[in-house]
Structure formats: C-alpha cells, structure tokens
Amino acid sequence: MEHPFYSIFEDWMSNKAVGLSVLQTFDGHLYQALQQPASSTLSATMQRIQAMAPSSTLAAYNSAKGVTKSKQERTIFELQDEYIILQNCAREALILSQRLHRVTDHENLTQHMSIDTQCQLPTFQQTPTELEVALMMVTMKEAIMKETEIMVRVASALHLDMRSEELFAYIQVWKLSPYIDEDLKRELAAVKDSVKYSGPDK
C-alpha cells in the first residue's frame, strides 16, 4: 500500500496551487474595484467622437475606461467569493498539515513503513534506508507546517483597503514557498515507489 504521506502531501500542494490562482485573481479584481467609474459626461463625449471618427484605438480606450458602477458591484461580489475560497484553502491546508503530522509520528514511521530494496531508484546510488526516508518525511512535514502558517496569515490579512505593494508581497511569499526544499521534494518523489505502508488508512 502507498504510504498516506504522499497522497496527503499531493493534496496539500494542489490546495496551495488553487489558493495562489485565487489570490492572483483577487489582486486583479481589487485593482478593478478601486478604479473610479467613468463620468457619464466624459463617457458620452468619447462615444460621440468614436461615432464621428471610428478608430480601433479609441474603441479600445472606451472599452477599457468605461468602468460602470454595475461592473464595480459585480467585481465586489467576485472579491467576496475569492476571499471565501482563500479562507477555505487556509483551513484545508491546516487540516492536511495535521493529517501529515499524524502519519509521520514515531509509530507510523517505525512500525508501519518498510522499504522495497528491489525497487530501481536511478536517482540514488543506493536505496535509502527506512530511517533516511523517515527523516525526509519529517523534514518535509515541518516545512509544510511552516508554509501552512504563512497561508493562514495571508488569508486572514486580506482586506479591500490593503495597498497593492502589500498584496504583491503576499502573493510572492505564497508563490515562492520559502520553506519547501525542492531537492527534498524531488528525492521524496523518487523513493515513492519503494516506500511500503502496512498501517491503518489515514
């Protein structure tokens, strides 16, 4: 049986990717929401000029600048939806990190895990021992716990009055995953087929 560490870790990474996508969309919608609606006089004037002298450039300008109140209201609703999704992503990250903590406790790693030494692992000169794989899992679990803390803080810090620079910083931290070691991630993926699990379903 595949060790539950892997399915939980993959679910956590997928959840984080969803959160990043929503956070980036939130950034775009927040910018739109902060735009002032075009004045009706200016808008009407620009439309008359467009009618008298058709121009693709002017048409594009009118389309871009014609931010109406109804558009802004729709954008606000979209921001609310994205805020809720981000809160759900943060909560799901917490749940998954707690599950990861349980499957990497001492009992699960020492009693329910074994390594198939016959499995071909071209990435390694020799098959890692159970202790080495357990150490990799625990190290990644600790990184996930720290990353989850960042996600929770970012999700709880979002508000409509935040500066664009602040939101940009949050997006970058979420995207960069500073605590996750990419080399360790690749090594865990490389030994996946050799790790056997005999414990209860998690």
Q: Of the ranges 9-18, 63-72, 151-160, 170-179, which one carries the lowest mean pLDDT score?
A: 63-72
Question: pLDDT class for 52, splitting at 50, 70, 90?
Answer: low
How many angstroms separate the Cα of 136 from the Cα of each of 4, 67, 85, 131, 191? Answer: 14, 52, 31, 9, 10
Res 80: pLDDT: 81
Q: Which residues contact 79 (CB under 8 A, 6 or more apart)?
A: 26, 29, 30, 33, 160
* Entry pTM: 0.76
pLDDT of 57 above 60 = no
Radius of gyration of the chain (CA): 25
Torsion of CA 19, 22, 28, 33, to 10 degrees: -110
**Residues 75-99: pLDDT tens digits?**
677 778 888 999 999 999 999 999 9
Place of tokens 């390694």: 124
What 3-state class would DSSP assign to 152?
helix
With b meaning 16 or more CB within 10 Å and e meaning fewer, what string describes 18-48? ebbebbeebeebbeebeeeebeeeebeebee
Question: pLDDT class for 138, splitting at 50, 70, 90?
Answer: very high
Residue from 192, 175, 174, 12 nearest 100 by CA: 12
Range 155-173 average pLDDT: 85
